[in-house]
Structure 1
Amino acid sequence: MQRTNAILLGLGVGLFMVVSCDQSGNTEQQEQRVDELENFVDSVETAVNREANHNWTVLDRRYNQLVANVESSYQNASQDAREEWNDLEERYEEAKVEARTKTAKMEEDAERHMSNVEAWWESTTANTQRSGQRTLDDIEEGAKDSWEWLEKNTEKLGDNVRSRYEKIKADLEG
């Protein structure tokens, strides 16, 4: 009998804890859902810091799924409980804005460097009949910096700039 009472008392304490957690809007399920959303937002922020060009349709779909999971677990929660995850939405939107800004800057830089190389290429090929390799060795300093930048960022270039770069590179390599 004492053992049964101890088990019932233990169950009562556990039940009380679940009810009291639920009333505060901080259930284990809510915490897990918020943690999943936070991990996703952290991953997006990290990815944007490394490179801005991402498939935002796929990312938004996953983000919206995680938000829906959080919202459903917080359906009956108090406003205070909802504030635990509201800042994650702000962080995600800030990451998207940062990515767009970085992507635009990358495209601007790529166009500037490509234009510099193209201007040098047109000038060089119009004035000389030297071989491609020798011409590559003789790249002027300004064009050389642009060429090196394009070489370093080839994977990140947009299709237009990448194809222009690869055409000049193929011509140089003969």
Structure 2
Amino acid sequence: MKTKAILTIGAAVVALYSCDTKNYTEADRVQVTKNLESYVDSVENAVKMVPVHNWSVIDERYDSLDSRAEKVYKDLDIEDDNLDMIEERYEVAIKNGKAEAENFERTADMHMKNVETWWDKTSAEIEKGAKNTADDIEDATQESMDWLEKNFDKLDDNSKKKYEDITLKLRKD
């Protein structure tokens, strides 16, 4: 009877211990941290190179990686400031990226308005018989045209269309 009780208690302890085992390993922790850090690195680089992004997609991917990392850390019962530092870097990158995007959009709008104003003024003259050529573009307008051409791939679709329409009409005339 004593042996049966010891075996029962032993089985209960083993069962309890097996339920308490970790689902993740140290290698998992290292990998999820590396994945999260690599993603933040890529976000930091991307926002420096291109001003326009789909922020919701970026946030969704970060949240997915962060959630996985937190799950692994929690399972391993580890507290690590590294995740907090990575999160801080991510938030700064997003803040800076959004500020750059807003600045880019303001600059693009300014240049587009400059070109549109010039076009509206000169296209009326064309109808009166004055021929308009690329040589007739004023310096400030040419600067705007150059900026728009240089940043064409980064413009929103509406600005691209406006720019293409004006340059096409300008070449025809």
**Which residue pairs with 1:77 in the alignment?**
77
**Bigger Cα Rg:** 2
Give the 5 Å matches for 1:140-155. 140-155=138-153
In 1: Cα distance, 2:62 partner to 2:78 partner: 23
Q: Secondary structure at the match of 2:42?
A: helix
Q: In the aligned structure 1, how far is the partner of 2:78 from the partner of 2:39? A: 24
**TM-score of the aligned structures, taking structure 2 as reference length:** 0.76
Q: What RMSD in Å do the two structures reach over aligned CA positions?
A: 1.7
The answer to which of 161-170 and 104-113 deviates more is 161-170
1:111 matched residue in structure 2: 109
Q: Which ranges in structure 2 are unaligned for 5 or more consecutive residues?
A: 1-24
Letter in 1 for 2:153: E
Contact 2:51 2:154 survives alignment (8 Å): no
Post-superposition offset of 1:139: 0.8
CA shift at 1:90, angstroms?
1.2
Question: In the alignment, which of 132, 135, 138 is matched to residue 137 of structure 1?
Answer: 135
State the AA in 2 paired with 1:119. T
TM-score normalized with structure 1 length: 0.76
Give the SS at the match of 1:34.
helix
Per-residue deviation, 1:148: 0.3
In the alignment, structure 1 residue 120 sits paired with structure 2 residue 115: no
Residue of structure 2 in register with 1:54 after alignment: 53
Q: Which runs of 5 or more residues in structure 1 are unaligned? A: 1-25
Instruction: Quote the Cα distance in structure 1 between the aligned partners of 2:110 and 2:35.
Output: 41
Alignment of structure 1 residues 63-102 onto 2, 5 Å? 63-75=62-74, 76-79=76-79, 82-102=80-100
